[in-house]
A and B are shown apart, each in its own frame.
Chain A
Amino acid sequence: MKHLLSIDDLGPAGIEEILRVTDSFVEVSERAIPKVPALRGKTVVSLFYEDSTRTRLSFETAAKRLSADTMTFSVSSSSVNKGESLRDTVETIEAMGIDAVVVRHRSAGVPWRVAGWMQASVINAGDGWHEHPTQALLDCYTIRSRRGSLQGLRIGIVGDIKHSRVARSDIAAFAALGASVSVIAPPTLLPPSLDGWPVQVAPSLDAILPDLDVVYLLRLQRERMTEALIPSLREYRACYGLTASRLARLDPDALVMHPGPMNRGVEIDAEVTDDPRSVITAQVANGVAVRMAVLYLILGSGAELRLPEPVLSGTRA
């Protein structure tokens, strides 16, 4: 595997292989000394053009536990403020001799462009509204570790589907592993068309809630909303929030998930996160192990995971 750009590049077999290798890194993470020498001498750069706490820290923790060196690029303290272009920044970083770049950018497709400009491996850590593949992998891992498999599970994704890269990657990954995925959202927060998406639209959260094996709550992304898409946060909570009274109607074996950061009191009530069905903390812990597996498969394992190479646009001749 050279890059990890989107879930579709992996296919069901690729996802399963990453989850299998993740099991080994969960064991590593539980040790007294949670570090292995597998990627000694490799350098991983996190290139984040957008704010992030958990994804960046998770990738850096993963790289360090594999004994790789890490460098962090944050836009606020870089030459981007002097007007340096993305391409010049990428080429400067590459000239320092690095092995992988973890890219987050507000525009969809940036990781593909970056992959076309450099020899190093590129991992997509979120591009605009488009994809966030490692989030989807850690979500699959979390569900699999609680329920054994995703085959036949009914998963409801609630909230801002339109602006959510997590939703796009999760839908592709959950469907690839055999789950039946529904989306529940105000019509203004659904994409203009769901043609070709392996999902159904559920009429309301209350109607579908008792049938769900997994409730996946998305963050209401106020920073991406340029127009008034919902009447008020109070009304959103009343129709789409996972409140304590809705939690009571959820199956005893169901899981409650959220990619973070949470708007408590909007999409999720504070007491819901304390319920044993909430696996939100497990998602974060599994995130480190999944990212160790991805980094190891890209930088350490050799060409064992035989996946179709993604088509790169803008590749230099």
Chain B
Amino acid sequence: MAERERAATPPRGGVFVPRTTVMDADDLRRAATRIAHEIVEHNHGLEQVALIGLQTGGVWLAHRLHEILLNIDGTDVPLGSIDVAFYRDDIGLRPVLPEAVTDIAFELTGRQVVLVDDVLFTGRTVRAALNALNDYGRPHAVQLAVMVDRGHRQLPIRPDYVGKNLPTRFDEQVDVSADGVVIGDVRPR
């Protein structure tokens, strides 16, 4: 994998240098399929389930889970995306800008909302997302699906669905895309 720009993850403007591939595209597809099955099992069907991807890394994963759920259950679950920039607790400590406009075109109240993100790290983004969801309605329950749980939690948050548990150093970077999961470092430019 070539070096690529990291626009969304701090430090902004750094260059991601890949080191080890821990999941390839097939592994990732299989993990996503398993998560989708677990969502159906855990919720006894998909009747009240809705998927919300976190900008930006969780959005494509939420789309993929939506597609798999449609294939395995025939249900077109509501799908949205959320940008949590305005709810972060590090506003003022580092540059925080919205990446995209939040899009939740359905009623949240009473639903089983599955938040979807690519990597679970400190848990602060998820904390911000829980606050943001509050402003849209009162879900019956909120669950969390992540492709990679890399540890180093700073808040009491745990995922309900995990693609892969991946022990990392705090200063490493984990890059998740449709091509797979790669561990590397971010070098400032």
Residues in A lying within 8 Å of B, measured CB to CB = 21, 23-24, 26-28, 31-33, 35-39, 66, 296, 300-304
Contacts and interface: CB of A to CB of B under 8 A. Distances in A.
Given A27-B102, A300-B96, A304-B12, A37 B136 contact: no
Contacts of B12: 304
A300 B135 contact: no
A26 B83 CA distance: 13
B95 A38 contact: no
Nearest to A36: B86
Interface residues of B, number: 22
A35 B86 CA distance: 10
B86 A21 contact: no
Nearest to A299: B92
A301 B96 contact: yes
A24 B92 contact: no
Main SS of the interface on chain B?
loop
Given A24-B85, A37-B131, A302 B101 contact: no
9 contacts: A31-B135, A32-B135, A32-B137, A36-B135, A301-B95, A301-B96, A301-B97, A302-B92, A303-B95
B87 interface: yes
Contact of B98 (A21, A39, A302): A21
A304 B91 contact: no
B94 interface: yes
Given A24-B101, A304-B97, A296 B86 contact: yes
Given A31-B135, A33-B135, A24 B87 contact: no
Interface in B70-111: 83, 85-87, 91-98, 100-103
B109 to A, nearest CB: 10
B94 A302 contact: yes
Nearest to B93: A302
Contacts of A39: 91
Across the A-B interface, the 3 shortest Cβ-Cβ residue pairs: A302-B95, A36-B86, A304-B95
Contacts of B92: 300, 302
A239 B24 CA distance: 70
Contacts of A303: 95
A47 B101 CA distance: 32
Interface in B135-158: 135-137
A153 B137 CA distance: 41
A301 B127 CA distance: 19
B59 to A, nearest CB: 15
B101 A37 contact: no
